[in-house]
C-alpha cells in the first residue's frame, strides 16, 4: 500500500474557484474517476474526478476553499497504482461521470461509495434551498451532484425528471426541459418528458393568417392567459365525463317570483342560482365523494366537512371563479346578496387570490344567456362542476297527459378517477329531486 497525493487536474480556464461540495470522506474507498468534489465559478460548475483508486487518508480541501490546477485535494492509500489516469482530465459538467455510472457501466469492481451515503457539506451554499426541499428524497435519482444542486436551486424534484443521458442519467438539460414543461402547464408538474413536449404530440403550427386576408392581433388579457393555462391543465390531467339531466323547476320558479315581488322595494333580486347552490350542498352531503379532492400523488381522497361553492363569473377580461363560503349556513337572501357582491367585485377586478381559493365544487351558470347543455371543465383540485343552462317550458308526460313544465338543464362534469358513472347519475337525479321540490332542502 502506497501513499499518493491527488491534485486538481487541468481544469481549463477555471482558476481560484470555490469548492461547493466535497463528495468523499476520510476512510471512503474510491475508484478511478469517482467524483471527489464540485467546484463552481461564476459561469459553471464542474466535478473533479479522482486520478487514482484507493482509500481516502486525508482531506486537504473543504467547502468554501478556493482551488486551481495543481491544488492538493487529498491523500490516498493507493490500492492499485496501475489504474492511475494518465491524462488527469476533469469531467466537464455537460458530460459528468458519476461513480455509479463507472462501476456499473465498465465493470469496475472497486466498492465505490454510494452517492446517497456521502455527507453533505454543513455550510453548503445550497443549504437554504436544501432545507426547503428537505422532504424530497433525491437519493434514488440518477444524477451528478452538480445536476442535483441545479435541481435544488430550481425547486425541482429530480424523482419526476426523466433522464436522457447514458443509462438514463439526468442531465442539466433534462432539468431545464422539465421546468419548461411545468411552466407550460401553469405551474403544475405533470409527466414531463424530455424534449419539452408533455403530451408527446406535435406542437401547434405558427401560421401567418394574413396570407388569406386582413387580420388584427389582439393581446390576451392576464385573466385569459391564466384561465387558459388552468383549463388546459385540468383538461389534460382529468379524465372527464359529463352527465346531463333536467330538473323540473316550475314550483321553484313560482316561489322565486313571489319572493322577488315581496322584496321588490329592497331591490334585492333572487335568481335560480342561489337555490341551485343550496341543492348542490344537499348533494355534497348526500354524496361526500363529490366534496373531496385527490392528493397530489392521486393515492388519497381528502374529504371536506365544509361547503364552499365556486361560482363562475363572466367578466369583460375573462372568466373568474370566486368562492362563496359556508353556503350550508347561509339563507337564500344572504346568498343572493353575496352573489351580487362577488359578481360586482369580479367585474371591477377587485377579487383577491384568496377570494378564489378553497372551493369544494363549482357552478357555471349560463342560464341567463342561453343554450341547452354544455360540458364544463372540472375546476381542480375539485372533482366535479355543475353547468346550468337556460330553463325552458317543455311538455312533460305526467302519466295522464302532457303538462307544461319549466325544465332546467343540468350538465355535471366529474373526475372519473374519483367518481363512477353511477354516482354521477345519482348526483344529478338527487339535484333534480331537490330542485323539483325545494321543501326537501329543509329535511
Ligand atoms: N334559466 C333561465 N333564466 C335564468 C337562469 C336559468 N338557468 N339563470 C338565470 N336566469 C335569469 C335570471 O333570473 C335573470 O333574469 P331577470 O333579469 O329576468 O331577473 C337573468 O337570467 C340574468 O341572470 P344573471 O346571470 O344576472 O344572474 P345569475 O345569478 O343567474 O348568475 C353569474 C350570476 C355571476 C353567475 C352570471 O352573471 C355569470 O357571470 N354567468 C356566466 C358564467 C360563465 O361564464 N360560465 C362559463 C364558464 S365555462 O364553464
Say if residue 434 is in the same domain as residue 318: yes
Protein residue whose Cα sits closest to atom 24 of ligand 1:
368
Full DSSP string of 237-302: HS-EEEEEEEEE-HHHHHHHHHHHHHTGGGT----HHHHHHHHHHHHHHHSGGGSEEE-TTSS-EE
Q: What percent of the chain has pLDDT over 90?
A: 59
Could you tell me if 391 and 249 are in contact, meaning their C-beta atoms sit under 8 angstroms apart? yes
Last residue of a domain, one of 196, 216, 234: 196
273-313 pLDDT, tens digit each: 999 999 999 999 999 999 999 998 889 999 999 999 999 99
Q: Tell me how far the alpha carbon of residue 369 lies from the centroid of ligand 1, in angstroms.
A: 7
Of 216 and 204, which is predicted with more confidence? Answer: 216
Residue 210 domain flag: no
Say if residue 59 is in the same domain as residue 129: no
Per-residue confidence (pLDDT) for residue 162, from 0 to 100: 80
Give catalytic status of residue 240 as yes or no: no
Q: Tell me how far the alpha carbon of residue 388 lies from the centroid of ligand 1, in angstroms.
A: 9
Question: Of 232, 237, 240, 416, which is the active-site residue?
Answer: 416
pLDDT score of 204 more than 70: yes
Residue 213 domain flag: no
Last residue of a domain, one of 147, 181, 196: 196
Per-residue confidence (pLDDT) for residue 136, from 0 to 100: 42
CA atoms of 328 and 308, how far apart (whole Å): 8
Say if residue 144 is in the same domain as residue 260: no
Cis peptide before 300 (omega within 30 of 0): no
User: How sure is the predictor about 107, in pLDDT bands with cuts at 50, 70 and 90?
Assistant: very low
CA atoms of 309 and 325, how far apart (whole Å): 6
Protein residue whose Cα sits closest to atom 8 of ligand 1:
367
Residue 345 domain flag: yes
Per-residue confidence (pLDDT) for residue 273, from 0 to 100: 98
DSSP code at position 191: -
Q: Is 367 in the pocket of ligand 1 (CB under 6 A)?
A: yes
Could you tell me if 342 and 359 are in contact, meaning their C-beta atoms sit under 8 angstroms apart? no
How many other C-beta atoms can be found within 10 angstroms of the C-beta atom of residue 181? 21
Per-residue confidence (pLDDT) for residue 132, from 0 to 100: 34
Of 115 and 219, which is predicted with more confidence? Answer: 219
Say if residue 261 is in the same domain as residue 397: yes
Distant-in-sequence, close-in-space partners of 368: CB < 8 Å, separation ≥ 6 = 271, 390
Say if residue 303 is in the same domain as residue 423: yes
CA atoms of 255 and 262, how far apart (whole Å): 11
pLDDT score of 97 more than 60: no
Q: Tell me how far the alpha carbon of residue 366 lies from the centroid of ligand 1, in angstroms.
A: 6
What is the distance, to the nearest Å, from the Cα of residue 272 to the centroid of all Cα atoms in its chain?
35
Burial of 421 (0-12, 13-18, 19+ CB in 10 A): exposed
Beta bridge partners of 100: none
* Torsional class of 68: left (φ above 0), alpha (ψ -120 to 50), beta (otherwise): beta
CA atoms of 177 and 163, how far apart (whole Å): 10
Q: Is 424 in the pocket of ligand 1 (CB under 6 A)?
A: no
Nearest Cα to Cα of residue 378 among 330, 430, 312? 312
Pocket test for ligand 1, best of 276, 368, 408, 431 (most atoms within 8 A of CB): 368
Q: Tell me how far the alpha carbon of residue 387 lies from the centroid of ligand 1, in angstroms.
A: 11
Last residue of a domain, one of 66, 90, 114: 90
Which atom of ligand 1 is nearest to 368's Cα?
A: 21
pLDDT score of 322 more than 90: yes
Greatest Cα-to-Cα distance within the chain, rounded to the nearest angstrom: 105
Q: Is 4 in the pocket of ligand 1 (CB under 6 A)?
A: no
Q: Tell me how far the alpha carbon of residue 96 lies from the centroid of ligand 1, in angstroms.
A: 61
Could you tell me if 198 and 183 are in contact, meaning their C-beta atoms sit under 8 angstroms apart? no
Total tally of structural domains belonging to the chain: 3
Q: How many residues does the chain have?
A: 443
Give me the CATH number covering residue 175: 4.10.320.10
* HSE-CB of 440 using CA atoms within 13 angstroms: 18
Which atom of ligand 1 is nearest to 385's Cα?
A: 49
Say if residue 262 is in the same domain as residue 316: yes
Pocket test for ligand 1, best of 260, 271, 431 (most atoms within 8 A of CB): 271
Q: Is 376 in the pocket of ligand 1 (CB under 6 A)?
A: yes
pLDDT score of 194 more than 50: no
Q: Is 260 in the pocket of ligand 1 (CB under 6 A)?
A: no
Q: Is 136 in the pocket of ligand 1 (CB under 6 A)?
A: no
Q: Tell me how far the alpha carbon of residue 314 lies from the centroid of ligand 1, in angstroms.
A: 10
Average pLDDT over the chain, rounded to an integer: 82
Of 86 and 68, which is predicted with more confidence? Answer: 68
Which atom of ligand 1 is nearest to 346's Cα?
A: 34
Residue 145 domain flag: yes
Which atom of ligand 1 is nearest to 389's Cα?
A: 7
Residue 118 domain flag: no
Say if residue 174 is in the same domain as residue 58: no
Residue 215 domain flag: no
User: How sure is the predictor about 25, in pLDDT bands with cuts at 50, 70 and 90?
Assistant: very high
Say if residue 167 is in the same domain as residue 303: no
Give me the CATH number covering residue 355: 3.30.559.10
Protein residue whose Cα sits closest to atom 22 of ligand 1:
368
Domain ranges, residue 65: 2-90
Say if residue 132 is in the same domain as residue 12: no
Q: Tell me how far the alpha carbon of residue 393 lies from the centroid of ligand 1, in angstroms.
A: 17
CA atoms of 409 and 367, how far apart (whole Å): 9
Protein residue whose Cα sits closest to atom 7 of ligand 1:
367
Say if residue 278 is in the same domain as residue 417: yes
Give me the CATH number covering residue 37: 2.40.50.100
CA atoms of 180 and 196, how far apart (whole Å): 6
Q: Is 273 in the pocket of ligand 1 (CB under 6 A)?
A: yes
CA atoms of 334 and 342, how far apart (whole Å): 12
User: How sure is the predictor about 12, in pLDDT bands with cuts at 50, 70 and 90?
Assistant: confident
Q: Tell me how far the alpha carbon of residue 430 lies from the centroid of ligand 1, in angstroms.
A: 22
258-to-23, 266, 271, 414, 442 alpha-carbon distances in Å: 78, 14, 12, 34, 19
CA atoms of 364 and 229, how far apart (whole Å): 18
C-alpha cell at 310: 365556486
Lowest model confidence (mean pLDDT) among 65-69, 124-128, 141-145: 124-128
Residue 404 domain flag: yes
Highest mean pLDDT of the ranges 8-17, 90-99, 213-222? 213-222
Q: What percent of the chain has pLDDT over 70?
A: 80
C-alpha cell at 410: 343540468
Residue 379 domain flag: yes
157-172 pLDDT, tens digit each: 887 788 877 556 788 8
* Beta strands 361-365 and 54-59, pairing class: unpaired
Amino acid at each position: 500500500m502506497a501513499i499518493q497525493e491527488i491534485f486538481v487536474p487541468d481544469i481549463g480556464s477555471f482558476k481560484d474557484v470555490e469548492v461547493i461540495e466535497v463528495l468523499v470522506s476520510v476512510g471512503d474507498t474510491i475508484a478511478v474517476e469517482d467524483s471527489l468534489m464540485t467546484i463552481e465559478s461564476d459561469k459553471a460548475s464542474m466535478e473533479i474526478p479522482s486520478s487514482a483508486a484507493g482509500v481516502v487518508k486525508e482531506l486537504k480541501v473543504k467547502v468554501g476553499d478556493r482551488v486551481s490546477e495543481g491544488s492538493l485535494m487529498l491523500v490516498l492509500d493507493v490500492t492499485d497504482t496501475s489504474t492511475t489516469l494518465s491524462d488527469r482530465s476533469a469531467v466537464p459538467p455537460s458530460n459528468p461521470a458519476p461513480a455509479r455510472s463507472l462501476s456499473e457501466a465498465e465493470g469496475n469492481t472497486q466498492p465505490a461509495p454510494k452517492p446517497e451515503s456521502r455527507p453533505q457539506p454543513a455550510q453548503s451554499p445550497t443549504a437554504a434551498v436544501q432545507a426547503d426541499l428537505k422532504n424530497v428524497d433525491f437519493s434514488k435519482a440518477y444524477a451528478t451532484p452538480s445536476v442535483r444542486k441545479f435541481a435544488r436551486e430550481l425547486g425541482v424534484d429530480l424523482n419526476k425528471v426523466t433522464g436522457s443521458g447514458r443509462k438514463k442519467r439526468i442531465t442539466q438539460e433534462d432539468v431545464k426541459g422539465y421546468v419548461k414543461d411545468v411552466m407550460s402547464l401553469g405551474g403544475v408538474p405533470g409527466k414531463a418528458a424530455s424534449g419539452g413536449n408533455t403530451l408527446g404530440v406535435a406542437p401547434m403550427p405558427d401560421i401567418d393568417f394574413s396570407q388569406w386576408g386582413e387580420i388584427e392581433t389582439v393581446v390576451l388579457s392576464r385573466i385569459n392567459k391564466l384561465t387558459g393555462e388552468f383549463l388546459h391543465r385540468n383538461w389534460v390531467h382529468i379524465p372527464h365525463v359529463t352527465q346531463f339531466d333536467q330538473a323540473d323547476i316550475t314550483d321553484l320558479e313560482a316561489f322565486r317570483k313571489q319572493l322577488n315581488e315581496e322584496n321588490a322595494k329592497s331591490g334585492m333580486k333572487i335568481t335560480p342560482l342561489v337555490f341551485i347552490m343550496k341543492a348542490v350542498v344537499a348533494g355534497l352531503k348526500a354524496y361526500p365523494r363529490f366534496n373531496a379532492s385527490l392528493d397530489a400523488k392521486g393515492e388519497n381522497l381528502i374529504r371536506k366537512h365544509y361547503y364552499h361553492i365556486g361560482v363562475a363569473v363572466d367578466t369583460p377580461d375573462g372568466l373568474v371563479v370566486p368562492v362563496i363560503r359556508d353556503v350550508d349556513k347561509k339563507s337564500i337572501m344572504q346568498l343572493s346578496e353575496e352573489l351580487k357582491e362577488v359578481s360586482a367585485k369580479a367585474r371591477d377586478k377587485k377579487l383577491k387570490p384568496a377570494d378564489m381559493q378553497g372551493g369544494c365544487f363549482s357552478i357555471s351558470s349560463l342560464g341567463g344567456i342561453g343554450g341547452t347543455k354544455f360540458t364544463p371543465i372540472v375546476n381542480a383540485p375539485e372533482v366535479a362542476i355543475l353547468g346550468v343552462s337556460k330553463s325552458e317550458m317543455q311538455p312533460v308526460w305526467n302519466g295522464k297527459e302532457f303538462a307544461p313544465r319549466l325544465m332546467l338543464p343540468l350538465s355535471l362534469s366529474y373526475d372519473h378517477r374519483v367518481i363512477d358513472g353511477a354516482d354521477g347519475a345519482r348526483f344529478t337525479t338527487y339535484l333534480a329531486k331537490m330542485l323539483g321540490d325545494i321543501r326537501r332542502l329543509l329535511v
